[in-house]
Structure 1
Amino acid sequence: MSNAKEIEQQNSAYLARLEKCYSGILHDVMRADGLRDFTLPPTLRPLIPGQKMCGPAFTVSGRVDPAANGHETLLQWTGLLSRARPDHVLVIQPNDSTVAHMGELSSETLKYKGVRGVIADGGVRDSEFIIGIGFQVWHRYYTPRDVVGYWLPDAFDVPVRIGDVEIHPGDYLFGDRDGVVCIPRARLERILQLAEQAMSNENLVRKAILDGIDPQQAYLQYGKF
Protein backbone atom coordinates (compact mmCIF):
# COMPACT_ATOMS: atom_id res chain seq x y z
CA MET A 1 0.00 0.00 0.00
CA SER A 2 1.35 3.47 -0.89
CA ASN A 3 2.27 5.91 1.84
CA ALA A 4 -0.33 8.41 0.55
CA LYS A 5 -3.03 5.76 0.77
CA GLU A 6 -2.01 4.88 4.33
CA ILE A 7 -2.13 8.54 5.36
CA GLU A 8 -5.57 8.92 3.76
CA GLN A 9 -6.91 5.88 5.61
CA GLN A 10 -5.42 7.03 8.91
CA ASN A 11 -6.96 10.48 8.43
CA SER A 12 -10.37 8.92 7.74
CA ALA A 13 -10.11 6.83 10.91
CA TYR A 14 -9.14 9.88 12.98
CA LEU A 15 -12.01 11.93 11.55
CA ALA A 16 -14.53 9.20 12.33
CA ARG A 17 -13.40 9.21 15.95
CA LEU A 18 -13.23 13.00 16.21
CA GLU A 19 -16.77 13.39 14.89
CA LYS A 20 -18.03 11.50 17.96
CA CYS A 21 -16.41 14.05 20.28
CA TYR A 22 -17.44 17.55 21.30
CA SER A 23 -15.32 20.62 21.95
CA GLY A 24 -15.86 20.66 25.71
CA ILE A 25 -14.50 17.17 26.28
CA LEU A 26 -11.55 17.81 23.96
CA HIS A 27 -10.79 21.02 25.83
CA ASP A 28 -10.92 19.30 29.21
CA VAL A 29 -8.60 16.43 28.35
CA MET A 30 -6.14 18.71 26.54
CA ARG A 31 -5.99 21.06 29.53
CA ALA A 32 -5.53 18.12 31.91
CA ASP A 33 -2.77 16.75 29.69
CA GLY A 34 -0.79 19.96 30.01
CA LEU A 35 -1.61 21.67 26.71
CA ARG A 36 -2.17 25.43 26.66
CA ASP A 37 -3.38 28.02 24.13
CA PHE A 38 -5.39 25.68 21.95
CA THR A 39 -8.86 27.31 22.03
CA LEU A 40 -9.59 29.74 19.20
CA PRO A 41 -11.02 33.16 20.15
CA PRO A 42 -14.73 33.32 21.01
CA THR A 43 -15.05 36.18 18.51
CA LEU A 44 -15.02 33.50 15.79
CA ARG A 45 -18.49 32.14 15.04
CA PRO A 46 -19.91 29.45 12.78
CA LEU A 47 -22.30 30.13 9.94
CA ILE A 48 -24.12 26.90 10.85
CA PRO A 49 -24.06 26.71 14.67
CA GLY A 50 -25.25 23.12 15.08
CA GLN A 51 -22.92 21.63 12.47
CA LYS A 52 -19.64 20.07 13.61
CA MET A 53 -16.48 20.58 11.58
CA CYS A 54 -13.19 18.76 11.94
CA GLY A 55 -10.12 17.95 9.91
CA PRO A 56 -6.41 18.64 9.47
CA ALA A 57 -5.43 22.22 8.72
CA PHE A 58 -4.44 23.53 5.32
CA THR A 59 -3.15 26.97 6.25
CA VAL A 60 -3.03 30.24 4.32
CA SER A 61 -1.80 33.68 5.30
CA GLY A 62 -2.46 36.86 3.37
CA ARG A 63 -1.95 40.60 3.25
CA VAL A 64 -3.67 43.77 2.23
CA ASP A 65 -2.38 45.35 -0.99
CA PRO A 66 -4.58 48.23 -2.14
CA ALA A 67 -2.32 48.64 -5.18
CA ALA A 68 -3.12 45.15 -6.49
CA ASN A 69 -5.28 45.09 -9.59
CA GLY A 70 -8.51 43.13 -9.83
CA HIS A 71 -7.14 40.50 -12.20
CA GLU A 72 -4.16 39.75 -9.98
CA THR A 73 -6.26 39.39 -6.83
CA LEU A 74 -8.70 37.03 -8.54
CA LEU A 75 -5.86 35.05 -10.09
CA GLN A 76 -4.24 34.61 -6.69
CA TRP A 77 -7.58 33.82 -5.03
CA THR A 78 -8.50 31.11 -7.52
CA GLY A 79 -5.00 29.73 -7.07
CA LEU A 80 -5.72 29.45 -3.35
CA LEU A 81 -8.88 27.47 -4.12
CA SER A 82 -6.91 25.21 -6.45
CA ARG A 83 -4.41 24.40 -3.69
CA ALA A 84 -7.00 23.59 -1.00
CA ARG A 85 -6.94 19.91 -0.06
CA PRO A 86 -9.84 17.46 0.25
CA ASP A 87 -10.70 16.29 3.77
CA HIS A 88 -8.88 19.30 5.24
CA VAL A 89 -10.07 22.47 6.96
CA LEU A 90 -8.93 25.61 5.15
CA VAL A 91 -7.52 28.00 7.79
CA ILE A 92 -7.05 31.60 6.64
CA GLN A 93 -5.16 34.27 8.57
CA PRO A 94 -5.86 37.28 6.35
CA ASN A 95 -4.28 39.93 8.59
CA ASP A 96 -7.26 42.07 7.67
CA SER A 97 -10.56 43.20 9.17
CA THR A 98 -12.19 44.87 6.18
CA VAL A 99 -13.20 42.48 3.40
CA ALA A 100 -14.78 39.03 3.09
CA HIS A 101 -12.36 36.11 2.85
CA MET A 102 -14.98 33.55 1.87
CA GLY A 103 -18.03 33.80 -0.37
CA GLU A 104 -20.52 31.94 -2.53
CA LEU A 105 -18.53 30.55 -5.47
CA SER A 106 -15.50 29.87 -3.31
CA SER A 107 -17.53 27.86 -0.79
CA GLU A 108 -19.22 25.85 -3.51
CA THR A 109 -15.85 25.15 -5.12
CA LEU A 110 -14.34 24.02 -1.83
CA LYS A 111 -17.31 21.82 -0.98
CA TYR A 112 -17.10 20.20 -4.42
CA LYS A 113 -13.39 19.51 -3.81
CA GLY A 114 -14.19 17.79 -0.50
CA VAL A 115 -12.84 20.48 1.82
CA ARG A 116 -14.48 20.03 5.22
CA GLY A 117 -14.91 23.69 6.11
CA VAL A 118 -13.18 27.04 6.54
CA ILE A 119 -11.85 28.99 9.49
CA ALA A 120 -11.24 32.58 8.42
CA ASP A 121 -9.97 35.09 10.97
CA GLY A 122 -11.79 37.67 8.93
CA GLY A 123 -15.02 38.16 7.03
CA VAL A 124 -17.62 36.27 5.03
CA ARG A 125 -20.26 37.28 2.49
CA ASP A 126 -23.03 35.50 0.54
CA SER A 127 -23.81 33.85 3.85
CA GLU A 128 -27.36 32.72 3.05
CA PHE A 129 -26.14 30.85 -0.02
CA ILE A 130 -23.29 29.21 1.92
CA ILE A 131 -25.70 28.13 4.64
CA GLY A 132 -28.00 26.74 1.94
CA ILE A 133 -25.32 24.40 0.61
CA GLY A 134 -24.41 23.30 4.14
CA PHE A 135 -20.78 24.44 4.05
CA GLN A 136 -19.38 25.45 7.42
CA VAL A 137 -17.44 28.71 7.66
CA TRP A 138 -16.11 30.12 10.91
CA HIS A 139 -15.57 33.88 10.69
CA ARG A 140 -15.50 37.13 12.70
CA TYR A 141 -17.81 39.42 10.73
CA TYR A 142 -20.08 39.85 7.70
CA THR A 143 -19.50 42.28 4.85
CA PRO A 144 -20.50 42.48 1.18
CA ARG A 145 -17.04 43.76 0.25
CA ASP A 146 -14.78 41.24 -1.52
CA VAL A 147 -11.01 40.84 -1.94
CA VAL A 148 -10.82 42.27 -5.47
CA GLY A 149 -8.15 44.93 -5.78
CA TYR A 150 -7.40 44.78 -2.08
CA TRP A 151 -6.19 41.45 -0.63
CA LEU A 152 -3.78 38.71 -1.67
CA PRO A 153 -2.74 35.33 -0.22
CA ASP A 154 1.01 35.26 0.32
CA ALA A 155 1.91 31.91 1.94
CA PHE A 156 0.54 28.37 2.07
CA ASP A 157 1.18 25.50 4.49
CA VAL A 158 2.90 27.74 7.03
CA PRO A 159 2.15 28.20 10.74
CA VAL A 160 -0.53 30.83 11.30
CA ARG A 161 -1.73 32.42 14.53
CA ILE A 162 -5.35 33.10 15.41
CA GLY A 163 -5.65 34.75 18.80
CA ASP A 164 -3.35 32.87 21.16
CA VAL A 165 -3.33 29.71 19.05
CA GLU A 166 -0.55 28.82 16.64
CA ILE A 167 -1.89 26.44 14.02
CA HIS A 168 0.58 24.32 12.09
CA PRO A 169 -0.20 22.59 8.79
CA GLY A 170 -1.69 19.19 9.59
CA ASP A 171 -2.84 20.07 13.10
CA TYR A 172 -6.43 18.97 13.64
CA LEU A 173 -9.23 21.48 14.13
CA PHE A 174 -12.51 20.62 15.79
CA GLY A 175 -15.45 23.02 15.95
CA ASP A 176 -19.01 22.78 17.21
CA ARG A 177 -21.57 25.23 18.63
CA ASP A 178 -19.32 26.01 21.62
CA GLY A 179 -16.14 26.89 19.72
CA VAL A 180 -13.01 25.56 18.02
CA VAL A 181 -10.00 23.75 19.46
CA CYS A 182 -6.70 22.97 17.75
CA ILE A 183 -5.12 19.59 18.44
CA PRO A 184 -1.41 19.21 17.62
CA ARG A 185 -1.09 16.40 15.12
CA ALA A 186 1.62 14.68 17.19
CA ARG A 187 -0.78 14.51 20.17
CA LEU A 188 -3.94 13.52 18.28
CA GLU A 189 -3.98 9.79 19.07
CA ARG A 190 -3.43 10.41 22.78
CA ILE A 191 -6.05 13.17 22.94
CA LEU A 192 -8.58 10.95 21.17
CA GLN A 193 -7.94 8.12 23.62
CA LEU A 194 -8.31 10.47 26.59
CA ALA A 195 -11.50 11.99 25.17
CA GLU A 196 -13.04 8.59 24.49
CA GLN A 197 -12.27 7.45 28.04
CA ALA A 198 -13.62 10.71 29.50
CA MET A 199 -16.87 10.38 27.55
CA SER A 200 -17.24 6.82 28.81
CA ASN A 201 -16.73 8.06 32.39
CA GLU A 202 -19.24 10.85 31.83
CA ASN A 203 -21.83 8.28 30.84
CA LEU A 204 -21.16 6.38 34.06
CA VAL A 205 -21.54 9.59 36.08
CA ARG A 206 -24.76 10.43 34.25
CA LYS A 207 -26.21 6.99 34.92
CA ALA A 208 -25.19 7.13 38.58
CA ILE A 209 -26.88 10.51 39.09
CA LEU A 210 -30.05 9.37 37.32
CA ASP A 211 -29.99 6.31 39.58
CA GLY A 212 -30.06 8.64 42.61
CA ILE A 213 -26.39 8.81 43.63
CA ASP A 214 -25.27 12.15 45.07
CA PRO A 215 -23.40 14.15 42.37
CA GLN A 216 -20.36 14.70 44.59
CA GLN A 217 -20.20 11.00 45.36
CA ALA A 218 -20.48 10.23 41.64
CA TYR A 219 -17.64 12.66 40.91
CA LEU A 220 -15.42 11.09 43.58
CA GLN A 221 -16.20 7.60 42.32
CA TYR A 222 -15.51 8.23 38.62
CA GLY A 223 -13.22 11.29 38.71
CA LYS A 224 -15.28 13.13 36.10
CA PHE A 225 -17.98 15.76 36.05
Structure 2
Amino acid sequence: MSPNTLGTDPVHVMERTDSERSGSAKPAATTALSDRELCDRFEVIPTAAINDVLRSKGLIQQVLPPSVEGLEPSMRVAGIAFTIKGSKNLQLANEMEERAAMLEAIPQDAVCVWDTSNDDESAQWGEVMTMAAQRQGCRGAIVDGGVRDTDKILELDFPVFCRYRTSNGMLGRFRMSAWQVPVRIGQVTIHPGDITVGDIDGVIIVPRALAEETLVEAERIQFDEISLKKMITDGIAPREVVERGGYF
Protein backbone atom coordinates (compact mmCIF):
# COMPACT_ATOMS: atom_id res chain seq x y z
CA MET A 1 0.00 0.00 0.00
CA SER A 2 1.48 3.36 -0.99
CA PRO A 3 0.81 6.32 1.34
CA ASN A 4 -1.38 8.15 -1.16
CA THR A 5 -3.70 5.28 -1.98
CA LEU A 6 -4.57 3.95 1.41
CA GLY A 7 -25.46 42.80 14.75
CA THR A 8 -21.85 43.44 15.84
CA ASP A 9 -19.01 41.48 14.64
CA PRO A 10 -15.57 40.78 16.17
CA VAL A 11 -13.95 41.24 12.76
CA HIS A 12 -15.07 44.87 12.58
CA VAL A 13 -12.31 47.40 13.26
CA MET A 14 -12.71 49.13 16.62
CA GLU A 15 -11.81 52.69 17.54
CA ARG A 16 -8.23 53.08 18.77
CA THR A 17 -6.29 55.75 20.59
CA ASP A 18 -3.45 57.54 18.80
CA SER A 19 -0.90 55.47 20.69
CA GLU A 20 -2.64 52.24 19.69
CA ARG A 21 -2.80 53.34 16.05
CA SER A 22 0.95 53.76 16.01
CA GLY A 23 1.68 50.70 18.15
CA SER A 24 4.06 48.12 16.76
CA ALA A 25 1.86 45.28 18.02
CA LYS A 26 -0.68 45.79 15.25
CA PRO A 27 -0.50 42.83 12.84
CA ALA A 28 0.39 43.59 9.26
CA ALA A 29 -0.77 41.80 6.14
CA THR A 30 1.77 39.30 4.94
CA THR A 31 2.28 36.72 2.24
CA ALA A 32 4.35 33.63 1.57
CA LEU A 33 4.85 32.59 5.17
CA SER A 34 6.81 29.43 5.84
CA ASP A 35 4.90 26.51 7.33
CA ARG A 36 6.80 26.98 10.57
CA GLU A 37 5.92 30.66 10.95
CA LEU A 38 2.31 30.03 9.95
CA CYS A 39 1.96 27.32 12.58
CA ASP A 40 3.81 29.23 15.29
CA ARG A 41 1.59 32.28 14.84
CA PHE A 42 -1.64 30.28 14.71
CA GLU A 43 -0.67 28.38 17.86
CA VAL A 44 -0.94 31.47 20.07
CA ILE A 45 -4.32 32.60 18.69
CA PRO A 46 -7.47 31.40 20.49
CA THR A 47 -9.67 29.16 18.38
CA ALA A 48 -12.55 31.52 19.20
CA ALA A 49 -10.86 34.36 17.29
CA ILE A 50 -10.16 32.07 14.34
CA ASN A 51 -13.77 30.91 14.43
CA ASP A 52 -15.05 34.50 14.27
CA VAL A 53 -12.95 35.18 11.18
CA LEU A 54 -14.10 32.02 9.39
CA ARG A 55 -17.72 32.77 10.25
CA SER A 56 -17.36 36.21 8.67
CA LYS A 57 -16.28 34.42 5.49
CA GLY A 58 -19.36 32.19 5.55
CA LEU A 59 -17.54 29.12 6.88
CA ILE A 60 -19.63 27.92 9.81
CA GLN A 61 -18.78 24.19 9.83
CA GLN A 62 -15.06 24.23 10.62
CA VAL A 63 -15.10 23.02 14.23
CA LEU A 64 -14.67 19.35 15.11
CA PRO A 65 -17.24 17.76 17.45
CA PRO A 66 -16.81 18.94 21.06
CA SER A 67 -16.18 15.34 22.10
CA VAL A 68 -12.68 15.71 20.58
CA GLU A 69 -10.74 17.21 23.49
CA GLY A 70 -7.15 17.67 24.60
CA LEU A 71 -5.70 15.13 27.01
CA GLU A 72 -5.14 18.16 29.25
CA PRO A 73 -7.02 21.49 29.16
CA SER A 74 -3.76 23.41 28.74
CA MET A 75 -2.83 21.67 25.50
CA ARG A 76 -2.49 23.86 22.41
CA VAL A 77 -1.46 22.85 18.91
CA ALA A 78 -1.32 24.27 15.41
CA GLY A 79 0.04 22.48 12.39
CA ILE A 80 -0.39 21.32 8.82
CA ALA A 81 -2.99 18.56 8.52
CA PHE A 82 -1.51 15.14 7.76
CA THR A 83 -4.68 13.13 7.27
CA ILE A 84 -5.19 9.45 8.06
CA LYS A 85 -8.25 7.34 7.25
CA GLY A 86 -9.17 3.94 8.72
CA SER A 87 -11.94 1.74 10.08
CA LYS A 88 -12.61 -1.46 12.01
CA ASN A 89 -10.64 -4.32 10.44
CA LEU A 90 -9.42 -7.68 11.81
CA GLN A 91 -6.75 -8.36 9.16
CA LEU A 92 -3.17 -8.42 10.39
CA ALA A 93 -1.07 -9.00 7.26
CA ASN A 94 1.51 -6.21 6.73
CA GLU A 95 -0.27 -3.98 9.21
CA MET A 96 2.88 -2.94 11.06
CA GLU A 97 4.69 -2.25 7.79
CA GLU A 98 1.86 0.08 6.81
CA ARG A 99 2.10 1.90 10.12
CA ALA A 100 5.83 2.38 9.62
CA ALA A 101 5.31 3.73 6.10
CA MET A 102 2.72 6.19 7.37
CA LEU A 103 4.97 7.43 10.17
CA GLU A 104 7.88 7.94 7.79
CA ALA A 105 5.63 10.04 5.52
CA ILE A 106 4.80 12.61 8.23
CA PRO A 107 6.39 15.96 7.31
CA GLN A 108 7.74 18.59 9.69
CA ASP A 109 5.16 20.87 11.31
CA ALA A 110 2.36 18.38 10.67
CA VAL A 111 -0.56 17.54 12.91
CA CYS A 112 -1.81 13.99 12.38
CA VAL A 113 -5.59 14.04 11.86
CA TRP A 114 -7.33 10.66 12.22
CA ASP A 115 -10.71 9.91 10.65
CA THR A 116 -11.58 6.55 12.25
CA SER A 117 -15.01 6.06 10.63
CA ASN A 118 -16.53 6.60 14.10
CA ASP A 119 -14.58 3.77 15.73
CA ASP A 120 -15.47 3.41 19.40
CA GLU A 121 -13.21 0.54 20.44
CA SER A 122 -9.53 1.04 19.61
CA ALA A 123 -6.70 3.41 20.42
CA GLN A 124 -5.28 4.76 17.18
CA TRP A 125 -2.51 6.64 19.01
CA GLY A 126 -0.09 5.77 21.81
CA GLU A 127 3.33 6.36 23.32
CA VAL A 128 5.55 4.73 20.70
CA MET A 129 3.68 6.33 17.81
CA THR A 130 4.10 9.66 19.59
CA MET A 131 7.85 9.14 19.87
CA ALA A 132 8.15 8.27 16.17
CA ALA A 133 6.03 11.23 15.12
CA GLN A 134 8.04 13.63 17.29
CA ARG A 135 11.23 12.53 15.54
CA GLN A 136 9.60 13.51 12.24
CA GLY A 137 8.94 17.01 13.56
CA CYS A 138 5.22 16.41 14.09
CA ARG A 139 3.51 19.01 16.28
CA GLY A 140 0.55 16.97 17.59
CA ALA A 141 -2.30 14.58 16.85
CA ILE A 142 -6.06 14.94 16.50
CA VAL A 143 -7.79 11.57 16.83
CA ASP A 144 -11.52 11.14 16.27
CA GLY A 145 -11.13 7.93 18.21
CA GLY A 146 -9.00 6.58 21.03
CA VAL A 147 -5.65 7.08 22.71
CA ARG A 148 -3.71 4.90 25.13
CA ASP A 149 -0.47 5.28 27.13
CA THR A 150 -1.89 8.62 28.23
CA ASP A 151 0.54 9.15 31.10
CA LYS A 152 3.55 8.53 28.85
CA ILE A 153 2.23 10.87 26.16
CA LEU A 154 1.84 13.58 28.78
CA GLU A 155 5.45 13.04 29.86
CA LEU A 156 6.52 13.55 26.24
CA ASP A 157 4.79 16.97 26.21
CA PHE A 158 3.05 16.17 22.91
CA PRO A 159 -0.40 17.71 22.28
CA VAL A 160 -3.05 15.06 21.59
CA PHE A 161 -6.79 15.63 21.19
CA CYS A 162 -9.07 12.61 21.15
CA ARG A 163 -12.60 11.34 21.77
CA TYR A 164 -11.83 8.66 24.37
CA ARG A 165 -9.09 6.70 26.14
CA THR A 166 -8.74 2.94 26.15
CA SER A 167 -6.09 0.28 26.68
CA ASN A 168 -7.20 -1.47 23.45
CA GLY A 169 -4.57 -1.32 20.73
CA MET A 170 -5.75 -1.20 17.12
CA LEU A 171 -3.93 -4.37 16.00
CA GLY A 172 -6.61 -6.88 15.03
CA ARG A 173 -9.35 -4.32 15.66
CA PHE A 174 -8.73 -1.33 13.40
CA ARG A 175 -6.66 -0.63 10.31
CA MET A 176 -5.59 2.35 8.25
CA SER A 177 -6.84 2.41 4.67
CA ALA A 178 -5.14 5.57 3.37
CA TRP A 179 -3.31 8.72 4.35
CA GLN A 180 -2.97 12.17 2.84
CA VAL A 181 -6.50 11.99 1.43
CA PRO A 182 -9.52 14.16 2.30
CA VAL A 183 -11.18 12.96 5.51
CA ARG A 184 -14.31 13.92 7.42
CA ILE A 185 -14.82 14.32 11.15
CA GLY A 186 -18.28 15.36 12.24
CA GLN A 187 -19.44 18.01 9.77
CA VAL A 188 -15.92 19.05 8.79
CA THR A 189 -13.99 17.93 5.72
CA ILE A 190 -10.23 18.15 6.23
CA HIS A 191 -7.84 18.20 3.29
CA PRO A 192 -4.13 17.46 3.51
CA GLY A 193 -2.37 20.76 4.13
CA ASP A 194 -5.24 22.50 5.93
CA ILE A 195 -4.30 24.35 9.11
CA THR A 196 -5.38 22.51 12.26
CA VAL A 197 -5.61 24.47 15.51
CA GLY A 198 -6.59 23.09 18.92
CA ASP A 199 -6.93 24.59 22.38
CA ILE A 200 -9.18 24.33 25.44
CA ASP A 201 -12.22 25.30 23.32
CA GLY A 202 -11.72 22.48 20.80
CA VAL A 203 -10.27 21.97 17.33
CA ILE A 204 -10.86 24.15 14.29
CA ILE A 205 -9.82 23.61 10.67
CA VAL A 206 -8.69 26.50 8.44
CA PRO A 207 -8.70 25.80 4.68
CA ARG A 208 -5.16 26.23 3.45
CA ALA A 209 -6.16 28.68 0.72
CA LEU A 210 -7.50 31.03 3.41
CA ALA A 211 -4.78 30.44 5.99
CA GLU A 212 -2.72 33.62 5.74
CA GLU A 213 -5.63 36.05 5.48
CA THR A 214 -7.39 34.26 8.34
CA LEU A 215 -4.24 34.49 10.44
CA VAL A 216 -3.86 38.23 9.92
CA GLU A 217 -7.54 38.91 10.63
CA ALA A 218 -7.50 36.77 13.77
CA GLU A 219 -4.38 38.57 15.00
CA ARG A 220 -6.19 41.86 14.36
CA ILE A 221 -9.09 40.70 16.53
CA GLN A 222 -6.66 40.08 19.38
CA PHE A 223 -5.15 43.52 18.88
CA ASP A 224 -8.58 45.20 18.78
CA GLU A 225 -9.61 43.45 21.98
CA ILE A 226 -7.01 45.46 23.86
CA SER A 227 -9.22 48.52 23.26
CA LEU A 228 -12.40 46.57 23.93
CA LYS A 229 -11.22 45.28 27.29
CA LYS A 230 -9.95 48.71 28.30
CA MET A 231 -13.37 50.24 27.60
CA ILE A 232 -14.99 47.65 29.83
CA THR A 233 -12.49 48.06 32.68
CA ASP A 234 -12.88 51.86 32.37
CA GLY A 235 -16.57 51.41 33.12
CA ILE A 236 -18.01 52.36 29.74
CA ALA A 237 -21.61 51.19 29.42
CA PRO A 238 -22.23 48.16 27.18
CA ARG A 239 -24.34 50.14 24.69
CA GLU A 240 -21.60 52.72 24.27
CA VAL A 241 -19.06 49.94 23.83
CA VAL A 242 -21.17 48.61 20.96
CA GLU A 243 -21.55 52.11 19.48
CA ARG A 244 -17.75 52.37 19.43
CA GLY A 245 -17.49 49.13 17.48
CA GLY A 246 -17.15 46.76 20.41
CA TYR A 247 -18.90 43.46 20.94
CA PHE A 248 -19.70 40.92 23.63
Structure 2 contact 125–146 (Cα < 8 Å) conserved: yes
Greater CA deviation, 168-177 or 147-156?
Answer: 147-156
Q: Does 1:99 align with 2:99?
A: no
Aligned residue identity for 2:212: E
Give the structure, 1 or 2, with the largest relative contact order (CA under 8 Å, sep 6 or more). Answer: 2
Once the two structures are superposed, the pairs formed by residues 73-222 of structure 1 within 5 Å of their partners are 73-95=95-117, 96-222=119-245
Measured after TM superposition, the shift of residue 13 of structure 1 is 2.0
Greater CA deviation, 51-60 or 8-17?
Answer: 8-17
RMSD: 1.7
Aligned residue identity for 1:191: T
Q: Which SS does the other structure have where 2:175 is aligned?
A: strand
Q: Determine which of 54, 75, 79 is the counterpart of 1:51.
A: 75
Distance 2:34 2:130 in 1: 26
Distance 1:38 1:111 in 2: 26
Q: Does 1:12 align with 2:39?
A: no
Q: Which SS does the other structure have where 1:222 is aligned?
A: coil
How many pairs does the alignment contain? 217
* Per-residue Cα deviation, 1:31-88 (whole angstroms, up to 9, x for no partner): 122112101000111113212100110111012221x12x622222222212122211
% same residue = 35
Structure 1 contact 201–224 (Cα < 8 Å) conserved: no
Measured after TM superposition, the shift of residue 9 of structure 1 is 5.8
Q: Which SS does the other structure have where 1:204 is aligned?
A: helix
Structure 1 contact 202–224 (Cα < 8 Å) conserved: no
Partner of 1:39: 63
Listed as ranges, the gaps of 5+ residues in structure 2 are 1-31
TM-score between both structures, scaled by the size of structure 2: 0.83
Distance 1:94 1:20 in 2: 28
From the two aligned structures, give the one with the greater helix fraction.
Answer: 1
Distance 1:38 1:64 in 2: 26
